[in-house]
Structure formats: structure tokens, C-alpha cells
Amino acid sequence: MKHNVLLVEDDESIAEMVESHLLKEGFIVKVAYDGEEAVHTFLNDSFDIILLDLMLPKLDGMTFMKIIREKSLIPILIMSAKDSDVDKALGLGFGADDYISKPFSMIELTARVKAAIRRATDYTQSKREEGKNFLQIGNLQVDLSNYSVVKNGEKLQLTAKEFNILKLFVQNPSRVYTKEQIYNLIWHEDYYGDENIINVHIRRIREKIEENPSSPQYIKTLWGIGYKLGEF
């Protein structure tokens, strides 16, 4: 997969050198030579990283970063010869992720670009995984990663077995489970027809998560068959 780079550099010789090298490394590069052009280019295309010189005509690099950070968390790698500007950009909340001092080697620049894109990709993947582990079911917020359930802002105290039974239903919302299947999947033991243990756990879960345990909405009973998650 080729990554898209927005290169913002007013020095044409530097821009040409960086662009040529990154193209050889397999990147897709668009160049903007001033801050206003950079904003326009960013808003009209999709990029994986921005390489930014801070000393720009029309719109300076600091202001450009403020505009970008209002819209995106894209990695921004500063290319600058002035350490004072770099310190401001990194330390005053302007939103830069990394910097490289001019003059720099193309090998180092490529390594920094790849590292920044990799970090951003890993972060995005991590957030996606977090999203998969966090489920909203009616008024319940079920966090599968830390075994917690919150109802209307209040954290519920479920035992491990109770949570695992609830997790079974919320991860498989259309599936009906018999008592035997629940026992096998949660206790990891053979079922010998003792319904009481399942009945007790379902009742306790309902007492904690249902508005009215006598008329459950979350865990529905299918008489003679088993249980399933209610529809929301």
C-alpha cells in the first residue's frame, strides 16, 4: 500500500530533492509551496503524513498546524533549521509529532516518515479494537476489555460468571442459547441437566441489569428453548 505525503516547503530545491527521494521510496507526494496552498491541498485530498517547513509565505507553519489540528490527527513532521521554532511547535501544543533538523539526510527523513506513519496506523488500529470491545446495548455500556458494565452512568457489580453469560449474549445478539449450551460455554464442563444453576445466574443478572426483572428486556426467555438477547 502506497502512502500519501503532503510536503509543505517553500524552498523549491529542497522540495524537489525530498519529493524525488520519497517517490523513489514508493510514496505518493504532493507539494505545496506556501501555507495557503497547503491548507487548500490538504482539504481537497487524503494524506497519511505532512512534512512541514515552519517558515512559509502567506500562512506560517504554526498557523497551518492549528488549522489542521482542528480537523485531523494526521502525523506532522517538522523540517526546520531553527530549534526555537521546533521547541515552540512541539512544546506549546501546536500539534507536531516529530521534527528533523535541516540539513538532514534522506535516509533519516525516510525512517522518520515511516515511523510516524506506523505509529499512526497502530494507534488507529488500537482505537478500532477498543471500539469492538465496547458495546452499547440499550442503557447498558458493556466494556469487554475490562469486564465492566455501566447502566445509566452507574457501574454494576457482576461476578465473572454473570459477566461472561452477559458477554455471550451481547456478542451474539441474534442467537438463542439453551441452558446446556450456556453451561458448556461458561463452565466448560458437561451439563447433567441441573437447570437451577443457570436459572439462578440468569435471575441475578436480570436483577442487576433490568429495569423490571419480572419483565426482562435484555435477556429474553424463549420458553422450552432457552434465552437470547432482546432487540434494541
Give 56-72 as a DSSP string: -SSS-HHHHHHHHHTT-
Confidence label for 121 from pLDDT (cuts 50, 70 and 90) = confident
Please state the pTM of the whole predicted model. Answer: 0.56
pLDDT band per the 50, 70, 90 thresholds, residue 116: confident
Judge whether residue 218 has pLDDT over 60.
Answer: yes
Locate 68 and state its grid cell. Answer: 489542521
pLDDT band at 91 (very low <50, low <70, confident <90, very high): very low
3-state secondary structure of 204: helix
pLDDT on residue 132: 63
Is residue 92 predicted with pLDDT exceeding 50? no
Residue ranges and CATH numbers for the domains of the chain are 4-126 (3.40.50.2300), 134-229 (1.10.10.10)
The pLDDT tens digits for 150-209 are: 998 889 989 889 999 999 999 888 889 999 999 999 988 777 777 788 999 999 999 999
Q: Is the pLDDT of residue 83 over 70?
A: no
Q: Is 65 exposed, middle or buried (0-12, 13-18, 19+ CB in 10 A)?
A: buried
Q: What is the pLDDT of residue 133?
A: 76
d(CA 150, CA 31): 49
The helix (H) or strand (E) run that includes residue 156 is strand 154-156
Mean pLDDT of 20-46: 94
